[in-house]
Structure 1
Amino acid sequence: MPLVWLDCSAIPKSGRAHAAIGSSVSVLAAVKGFEFLDAGVRHRFDTLRREADRQDFLAARVLAKFVMSKVTGLPPAIVSIEQFCVDCNRAGHGKPFFPSHPELSVSWSHQNGIVMAAVSTFDIGVDVETLSSIPVEPDFAENVLSDTELTILNKLPAASFDGTNLKQLYVARQWVRKEAIVKLGDCSLDNLSMLDLGQLEFPDFYFDTFHRISSGCDYEMIDISIANRACLGALVWRTGTHDISLTTTKENAIHENQHPNGRRSNCRSV
């Protein structure tokens, strides 16, 4: 899958945002990946045994640096990314940030060889999943969906005209939306079923491949479907939040129990 830059110009907000999605192979093909691996996460990289996991881990961070360069104009090779978890008060994992531009929001996701990253001047969260990775068992749906969403799920036909499992697809769509909200810092995996996104459209019912904006609840998002629904993604931001200005000064301080951009981490960025 080639690297695809999303059209973030359609986002109805002031400020700057850039996002891209593609295969780990396509991201790493043009770079010498180890030059882009920050020292703070090299130990985690070295502990990964599967080569596919190592590629995804590295590609997500490489892509985030390339996206950041689109926002700031900095060369990707000099961009540094750090992570800090406010839940356990430790660096090396948790929500990522740029030490040189801590006011920027950065989020990434990777799954089965697909990576997605976004950087913006307002808070964002992203998630990407392959449809085959979403369980079809009812217990999983009950842990993810609200009562309203479960009602919608139960009314869906078992399959679409092309044989796609629409019930699995609906669970997957809500899962990526909610995971992106977790990355945003507004929810945790323990209470996904309490987050009701039932009023949002289910665009996968009508289209195979698309990227479009959906609005509802307290969030707006770009829903993404690639390769005839084999890969789903979401980029989420809060409704009505304001843009922030870019800084030209370097900020390195991390206050105890506080992430530089003020959001909870939920330890979701890997």
Structure 2
Amino acid sequence: MTTPPPTLAMVDDTAGVLAHGGGELLTDAELARAGAYRREVDRADYVAAHVLVRRCVAALLDVPAGDVVLRQRCAGCGATDHGRPYVQDRPEVHVSLSHTRGAVAAAAGWAPVGVDVEAIGRQLDDGLMAKVLSDGELEAVRNAGDPRAAFIRQWVRKEALIKVGAASLGRLRDTDLSGLPAHVPAGTPERARFDPWHVLDWLDPAHRYGFAAVSTHQTRLVTPA
């Protein structure tokens, strides 16, 4: 049986992405949404995420990033100013992107994919944890050597699953990921399965943010070009 081609994922600091340019590739709709952010740092994160996903698609298709046009469409109302992103004229390509304070992530592949990146906060919110973690996950987080990183690890996994329709924001406790690795070495991709999903975890070496990608195909973390 032929092994399906891997999904490609990228994660980087916002500044690292924008240092290579690419903001001019965004559509007018994307630029308008970026301009709606009040803080310059938030605008930068948005732009960097939309640049990075183009680079990810470009690597997947072996085309220039300038050839990649990103659009959005809401499955519920049909509007084009929000909703799931897609690549214009390439319906067979699946994409996902995410941004947090100072970091961005993206993925592209031939199968549904979801990614999330989140900054590791200074303190834990017990109320939030109780709402989104199963009993087993909550115990594992509280017993972890670094509970903040352990919580973010579960959070990004669940957010990525939401993006592929495998979890619901209002019922995150019902998605029990306590069987996945509790510890992810910083700077080293960690792979696991949550059938039928392949899960890729990554923790920033400086412990500033965590990242997860889920897809029905294996995901390969690649260095942004």
Give me the TM-score of the superposition, normalised by structure 1: 0.74
| SS of match in other structure, 2:92 | coil
Q: Size of the alignment, in residue pairs?
A: 217
- Cα shift at 1:151: 3.4
The SS at the match of 2:73 is strand
1:51 to 36, 40, 50: 40
1:12-61 CA distance string (max 9 Å, x none): 9512422211111111111251x211122232122112111111111111
Distance 1:102 1:200 in 2: 32
- Answer yes or no: is 1:222 the counterpart of 2:210: no
Corresponding position of 1:268: none
Post-superposition shift, 1:168? Answer: 2.3
* SS in structure 2 at match of 1:42: helix
Larger Rg: 1
Query: Runs of 5+ in structure 1 lacking a partner?
Result: 1-11, 161-165, 241-270
* 1:181 CA drift (Å): 0.6
Q: CA RMSD in A?
A: 2.1
Shift of 1:239: 7.2
**Within the alignment, does 1:170 sit opposite 2:150 as a pair?**
yes
Once the two structures are superposed, the pairs formed by residues 135-150 of structure 1 within 5 Å of their partners are 136-150=124-138
1:153 matched to 2:177? The reply is no
Deviations 1:47-106 (A, max 9, x none): 112111111111111111111111112211121000111133311211100022111110
Q: 1:239 to 1:22 in 2, by over 3 A?
A: closer
* In structure 1, C-alpha distance between the alignment counterparts of 2:63 and 2:19, rounded to whole Å: 21
| CA distance in 1 between partners of 2:168 and 2:46 (Å) | 22
The CA distance in 1 between the partners of 2:35 and 2:173, in whole Å, is: 35
CA distance change for structure 1 residues 32 and 149 in 2, over 3 Å: closer, same or farther?
A: closer
1:104 aligned residue: 93
Q: 1:81 to 1:32 in 2, by over 3 A?
A: closer
CA positional deviation for 1:173: 0.8
| Alpha-carbon distance in 2 for matches of 1:225, 1:198 | 18
Q: Verify the 8 A CA contact 2:7 2:217 in the aligned structure 1.
A: no
* Percent identity over paired residues: 30
